[in-house]
C-alpha cells in the first residue's frame, strides 16, 4: 500500500507526536558515510605495518620459516669445523686451512649452482645440492672422528661448496611475489638483511655452545640437520617458487649475458669484496684485542653486539618510505659506515678497554644493514632477467672472498703491529668501498 507523502511539521518548538512523520529525513546514511564515520579509538583499526603486510601474501610465512631454519647453519659450519679439527688435531693452522679451502671451493661452485637454480627451478636443484653438501659435512665429521689423513679433511669440506645460497633464493621469491611493488620489495630486502645478520649472530654462538657442552662434532651434526630440514621445508612451498627460466636469451635470441657483464655490476661486486674485508678484519682483530686483554671468551658476545646493531638498523630501514633511486643514497650509506667504523679504532686507541670498545662496535653496526640492503637492491636491478639467483650469489661470493682477505690482513696487522692498529684495516676497507662507489656513480647523481 503506498504511503502518503511526508508533510512539513509546523515549527512549534515542541517534540513531534509519536507516529507523526517529519517533513524530510533527519539523517541520511549512505555507504560512503559509514566508511567515513570515526567510531573512536575503541573500534578504530590501525593499518598494518610494512612487515605485517609483507607476510599477508599467501605462502610467505611458510617459505620464510624454512629459509630461516636453513640459513642459521651458515654461521655454524665454519666455527664448528675449526673447533672440531683444532680439538682433534691440535692445530689451528690446519683448521684454518681446511675452512679456507672450503671457502675457495664455494666461491667457484656457488655461482654455477645458482645458475642451475635459475634455469631449472629452486626445488629441483637446491634439494640434491643440499644433500650432497650434507654428505660432505658428515664425511668431514667422520674423518675427524676416526683420525683420517689430513688430505681427506680438505676433500670432505670442499664437497660442502654445493650448499645453495638460501638467502638469494628467498630474495628471488620476494622479487617474484612483489613484482612491481617497489616499496614492499624494499621492506622484504630489509627483512632478509636483518635475517642474515641474526643468523650470523646466533650461528657461531650456537655452534660454540654445542661443541663445548656436548662433544666437538655436535655443532656440525646439528647444523647438517637444520640445513637439510630447512631446505626441504623451503623447497616444498611450490606456490611461491619463481618459475624456471631455462636458458635465458636476449632480444636477438642469443643466450643472455652473464651478470658479471651487466652494466654497473663489476663495481657492485668490487664494493662487496671491500665490505667483506670490513667484516672479516673486524672479527679477527676483535678476537685478537680481547685475547690481549685476557677476555678472549667475551669476543663472541662483543661481535654479536655489532650484528645486533646491524639487525636493528635493517628492520628500521625497512619501515622507511624512500624516494629517489638507490644509486643516489648508496655512497651516503657507505660513507656513514666508514665514519662509524672510526669509533672502534678511537675506543681501542684511547681507552684500550674491551668494555668501552663493545658499545662502539654496536654503533658501528648501524650503517652496515642499510648499506647491504641498498647494495642488494642494486644487484637485483642490474641482474639480467632470469638470472637473479646467479647475480645475488655472485654478490655473496664477493663478500666471502672479502671476508677471507680481510681475515688474513687483519690477522697480520694484529700480530705484527698491534690489535689496536688492526682496527685501521676495516676503516681502510670501508674507505676503499666508498671510493669505488663514488667512481662508479654518475657525476650528476652525486650532488
pTM, entire model = 0.71
Dist. CA 289–CA 279, nearest whole Å: 15
DSSP output for 332-381: HHHHHHHHHHHHHHHHHHHT--HHHHHHHHHHHGGGHHHHHHHHHHHHHH
* CATH architecture designation of domain 259-447: Up-down Bundle (1.20)
8 A C-beta contact, residue 430 and residue 306: no
Cell of 50: 610494512
Residues of the chain with pLDDT under 50: 1, 5-9, 12-13, 15, 18-22, 24-43, 249-254, 444-447
What are all long-range contacts of 139-142, with beta carbons under 8 Å and residues at least 24 apart? 140/81, 140/84, 140/220, 141/84, 141/217, 141/220, 141/221
> In terms of Cα–Cα distance, which of 109, 79, 279, 277 is closest to 197?
279
pLDDT of residue 46: 64
CA atoms within 13 A on the CB side of 124: 13
Taking phi over 0 as left and psi of -120 to 50 as alpha, with beta for the rest, 40 belongs to: left
Q: Tell how many helices (H) and how many strands (E) occur in the chain.
A: 19, 0
Cell numbers standing for residue 239: 606456490
- Cα(first)–Cα(last) distance of the chain, in Å? 77
Residues 6+ apart with CB under 8 A from 218: 210, 211
Place of cell 657483464: 261
Task: Quote the DSSP letter at residue 13.
Answer: S
Same topology, domains 59-245 and 259-447? Answer is: yes
For 129, the grid coordinates are 645440492
What's the pLDDT tens digit per position in 204-248? Answer: 778 878 887 898 899 999 999 999 999 999 999 999 999 887 765
Going from N- to C-terminal start, the domains of the chain cover: 59-245, 259-447
Q: Give the cell for residue 380.
A: 637485483
What's the pLDDT score for residue 42?
Answer: 47
Task: Give CA–CA dist 54/178, Å, rounded.
Answer: 9
Residues 6+ apart with CB under 8 A from 55: 61, 64
What superfamily would CATH give domain 59-245? MFS general substrate transporter like domains (1.20.1250.20)
Q: How high is the pLDDT of residue 237?
A: 93
pLDDT value at residue 256: 59
Pull the grid cell for residue 86.
683444532
Q: What is the DSSP letter of 243?
A: P
Amino acid at each position: 500500500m503506498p504511503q502518503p507523502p511526508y508533510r512539513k511539521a509546523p515549527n512549534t518548538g515542541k517534540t513531534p507526536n509519536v507516529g507523526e512523520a517529519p517533513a524530510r529525513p533527519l539523517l541520511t546514511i549512505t555507504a560512503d558515510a559509514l566508511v567515513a564515520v570515526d567510531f573512536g579509538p575503541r573500534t578504530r583499526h590501525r593499518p598494518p605495518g610494512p612487515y605485517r603486510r609483507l607476510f599477508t601474501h599467501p605462502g610467505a610465512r611458510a617459505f620464510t620459516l624454512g629459509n630461516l631454519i636453513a640459513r642459521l647453519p651458515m654461521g655454524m659450519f665454519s666455527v664448528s669445523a675449526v673447533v672440531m679439527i683444532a680439538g682433534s688435531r691440535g692445530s689451528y693452522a690446519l683448521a684454518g686451512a681446511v675452512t679456507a679451502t672450503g671457502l675457495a671451493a664455494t666461491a667457484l661452485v656457488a655461482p654455477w649452482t645458482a645458475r642451475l637454480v635459475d634455469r631449472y627451478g629452486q626445488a629441483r636443484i637446491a634439494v640434491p645440492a643440499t644433500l650432497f653438501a650434507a654428505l660432505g659435512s658428515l664425511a668431514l665429521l667422520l674423518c675427524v672422528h676416526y683420525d683420517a689423513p689430513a688430505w681427506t679433511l680438505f676433500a670432505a669440506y670442499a664437497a660442502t661448496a654445493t650448499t645453495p645460497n638460501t638467502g638469494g633464493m628467498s630474495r628471488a621469491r620476494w622479487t617474484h611475489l612483489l613484482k612491481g611493488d617497489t616499496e614492499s620489495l624494499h621492506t622484504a630486502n630489509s627483512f632478509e638483511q636483518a635475517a642474515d645478520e641474526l643468523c650470523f649472530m646466533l650461528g657461531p654462538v650456537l655452534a660454540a655452545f654445542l661443541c663445548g657442552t656436548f662433544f666437538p662434532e655436535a655443532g656440525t651434526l646439528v647444523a647438517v640437520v637444520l640445513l637439510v630440514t630447512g631446505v626441504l621445508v623451503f623447497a616444498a612451498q611450490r606456490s611461491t617458487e619463481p618459475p624456471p627460466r631455462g636458458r635465458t636469451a636476449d632480444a636477438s635470441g642469443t643466450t643472455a649475458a652473464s651478470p658479471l657483464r651487466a652494466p654497473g655490476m663489476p663495481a657492485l661486486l668490487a664494493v662487496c669484496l671491500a665490505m667483506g674485508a670490513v667484516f672479516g678484519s673486524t672479527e679477527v682483530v676483535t678476537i685478537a684485542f680481547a685475547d690481549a686483554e685476557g677476555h678472549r671468551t667475551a669476543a663472541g658476545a662483543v661481535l654479536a653486539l655489532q650484528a645486533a646493531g646491524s639487525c636493528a638498523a635493517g628492520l628500521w630501514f625497512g619501515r622507511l618510505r624512500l624516494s629517489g633511486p638507490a644509486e643516489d643514497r648508496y655512497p651516503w650509506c657507505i660513507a656513514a659506515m666508514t665514519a662509524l667504523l672510526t669509533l672502534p679504532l678511537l675506543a681501542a686507541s684511547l681507552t684500550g678497554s674491551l668494555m668501552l670498545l663493545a658499545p662502539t662496535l654496536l654503533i658501528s653496526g648501524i650503517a652496515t644493514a642499510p648499506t647491504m640492503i641498498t647494495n642488494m637492491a642494486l644487484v637485483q636491478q642490474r641482474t639480467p632477467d632470469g638470472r637473479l639467483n646467479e647475480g645475488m650469489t655472485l654478490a655473496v661470493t664477493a663478500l666471502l672472498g672479502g671476508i677471507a682477505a680481510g681475515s688474513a690482513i687483519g690477522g697480520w696487522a694484529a700480530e705484527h703491529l698491534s690489535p689496536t692498529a688492526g682496527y685501521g684495516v676495516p676503516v681502510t676497507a670501508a674507505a676503499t668501498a666508498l671510493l669505488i662507489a663514488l667512481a662508479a656513480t654518475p657525476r650528476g647523481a652525486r650532488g
